[in-house]
Every structure is written in structure tokens, then in C-alpha cells.
Amino acid sequence: MRTPSQHHRRQELQDDRTMTPMIDVVFLLLVFFVCASIGRDPEKLLSTPLSGGAVAAAEIDPQDLPLGDVRIQLVRDGDTTTATVAATVHHDPRTLEAQLVALANISADVPVILSVDPDVPMEDVLRVYHTARRAGFQTVQFAAKG
């Protein structure tokens, strides 16, 4: 039978000490991520249902739509965002809303397609999105670069 030696016991203590800093680091990372996530604003949901993650979108036949579709081009011009609908450039959100309400009164079931330049702030994109929804359009979609 073998008696435990001092060397063997020292090795066990050393193994425990090397694990402690790693556990401390993991705990500190956990605390950091919990604290960092507390101050974030909750994400808002858009009122349009999104697809289930399909890569390809269904083709829409323009013959089936009374107006075809309503395309809104958003472009950043200096410090302002301009919206172009049917060759009419809108610098003021109220004139854009008036035109969208007039189009929605004709046919609210046609899709609105937002084509957004990359330098347009998301605040302006969401403002136009909500304007189209308030005007009465049922479907608002985003054009993808392809």
C-alpha cells in the first residue's frame, strides 16, 4: 500500500488553482453581457408580416394588379431624404402622405415597394413605411438589390 506523498498533494492543489482564474473570467464575461444587454432599447415590431425565411420571393404578375404597384424611391440629398413616387419628387413628408392617401383610395391592395439607397437613415425609411401603412396600403415591401 502506498502512502500519499507531499508531492502528490501539492499537484492536486496546483490543479485547483489553475482552474480558478478561468472560472472567474467566465463569470465576469457573463456579468458583462448581462449588464450590457440591460440598457438596450427593445426592438420594435413592424406591422407587416415577414416571410418565413425563404430565399426566393414569389413572382407577382403585374397583370393581376389594378395599378401594378406603387414604387417609392428614397434617396439622400445632402441633409434631407427625398421620396420619388410616380416621377413626383417629394421633399416634404406631408405631400408624400397626400399622394399615398390618394393612391390608396384608388386601390389599397396593391403592394408598396420601397427602394432605399444605402445612405438613407433608417429613421426616414421607417417614417415612409409607417406613412404608407397609415395611408391604407395593406402590403409594404422592400426592394432587394439583386
Domain ranges in the chain are 9-38, 67-142
For the whole model, what pTM was predicted? 0.55
CATH number for the region 67-142 comes to 3.30.420.270
Cell of residue 3, nine digits: 502512502
- In this structure, how many other beta carbons lie within 10 angstroms of the beta carbon of residue 68? 13
pLDDT at 39 over 80: no
- 85 CB-near residues (< 8 Å, 6+ apart): 70, 71, 72, 73, 96, 99, 100, 103
What is d(CA 142, CA 73) in angstroms, rounded to the nearest whole number? 10
> What is the pLDDT at residue 69?
83
Over the chain, what is the mean pLDDT? 76
> What is the pLDDT at residue 31?
92
**What mean pLDDT comes out for the span 92-105?**
87
Cell of residue 85, nine digits: 413616387
Q: Each residue of 42-92: pLDDT tens digit? A: 666 555 555 555 544 444 444 444 457 888 999 988 888 889 888 888 888
Half-sphere exposure of 112 toward its Cβ, with a 13 Å CA cutoff? 31
Environment class of 104 (CB within 10 Å of its CB; exposed 0-12, middle 13-18, buried 19+) = buried
